[in-house]
Amino acid sequence: MELVIGNKAWSSWSMRPWLVLKRAGAEFTETSIELRQGARTEAAIAPHSPSNHVPVLKDDGLVIWDSLAICEYLAEKFPQARLWPQDPGARALARAAAAEMHSGFSSLRGECPMDLRAAPKVAELSEATHKDLRRIARMWVDLLTRLGGPWLGGAEWSVADAFYTPVASRLRTYGVRLSDFGDTGRGGEYAERLLETPEFLAWEAGAR
């Protein structure tokens, strides 16, 4: 398998399937493409991706060009890794959380782009981003309470946690305290756990 990714400092979409591959213990090669180089970046991505975006997973002639689709494929390819919760209800909730991240929170993503090289700072955030943060805090606390934690889907790390790891890095970079947005404490603790996993630490080390 080959995973084509963007810069580790910036590409939150690339981070997610990379974390999942690492958690699954899969063997894969990594091809990194320099982002934010205009036509040069487009030309470098084009041979790999039909959508001209990264990440892309290549496996035995199959090309998958969407991060959530890649993660679903890996969950089926490596069932022993238990990349989704085993309980159907918990699995549905974890999938809903991942899908909401995949399609939503555009204000947070726009105002607080992931940058693992940036020094921590306190950012001025719009009301739209405040709304995103309130929703994230509410979701995290609800799922952690309902399913028992320590992860969004319950006792075991899942694809949903991969999808929110870049969010945890944004909270750290931009000095966001979830307690200001309705968190009871469990959300902040969860964000810290995400940034302490060996998979994230390995990704972060490659961003330096």
In this structure, are 63 and 106 located in the same domain?
Answer: no
pLDDT of residue 36: 87
Q: Report how many domains make up the chain.
A: 2
Q: For residue 13, is it within any domain?
A: yes
Sign, CA dihedral 99-103-107-113, equals: positive
Ranges of residues in the chain with a pLDDT under 70 are 208
Domain boundary among 81, 106, 129: 81
Residues 69 and 120 in one domain: no
Cβ atoms < 10 Å from Cβ of 64 = 20
Of 63, 81, 99, which closes a domain?
81
Whole-number pLDDT of residue 108: 98
Distance CA 110, CA 95 (A): 23
Residue 57 has a pLDDT of 98
Same domain, 139 and 109: yes
Choose one of 81, 113, 147: the last residue of a domain: 81
Q: Do the beta carbons of residue 162 and residue 19 sit within 8 Å?
A: yes
Instruction: Show the domain range for 119.
Output: 88-202
So what's the pLDDT on residue 179?
97
Question: 99-155 pLDDT, tens per residue?
Answer: 999 999 999 999 999 999 999 998 899 999 999 999 999 999 999 999 999 999 999
Q: What is the CATH number of the domain that holds 59?
A: 3.40.30.10
pLDDT score at 172: 97
Same domain? For 148 and 64 the reply is no
* pLDDT of the residue at 123: 82
Do 96 and 188 belong to one domain? Answer: yes
Write the CB contacts of 24 (distance below 8 Å, at least 6 apart in sequence): 74, 77, 78, 81, 83
Token pair, residue 53, equals 């975006």
* Res 208: pLDDT: 67
Residue 182, C-beta contacts closer than 8 angstroms, at least 6 positions apart:
134, 137, 138, 141
Do 114 and 43 sit in the same domain of this protein?
A: no
Q: What CATH number is given to the structural domain containing 122? A: 1.20.1050.10
